[in-house]
Amino acid sequence: MSTDLHDLYQEIILKHSREPKNSGTMDNADGEANGNNPLCGDRIVVYVKLDGDRIADAKFEARGCAISVASASMMTELLIGKTINEARAEGSRFIDLLTSKDPPEVADDDELAALLGVRQFPARIKCATLPWQTLAAAMDGSETEVTTE
Give me the DSSP letters along 5-45: HHHHT-HHHHHHHHS-TTBS--TT-SEEEEEEETTTTEEEE
How confident is the model over 36-45, as pLDDT tens digits?
999 889 999 9
User: Rounded distance, CA 70 to CA 17, Å?
Assistant: 5
Identify the CA nearest to 29 among candidates 128, 137, 131: 137
Give me the pLDDT at residue 61, please.
98
- State the average pLDDT for the chain: 90
Alpha helices in 20-146 (DSSP H): 66-79, 84-99, 122-140
The domain spanning residue 110 has which CATH number? 3.90.1010.10
Domain with 71 in it? 3-147
Give me the pLDDT at residue 87, please.
97
For residues 72-91, average pLDDT: 96
- Percent of the chain at pLDDT > 70 equals 91
Give me the pLDDT at residue 68, please.
96
For residues 119-142, average pLDDT: 93
Give how many domains the chain has, as a whole number.
1
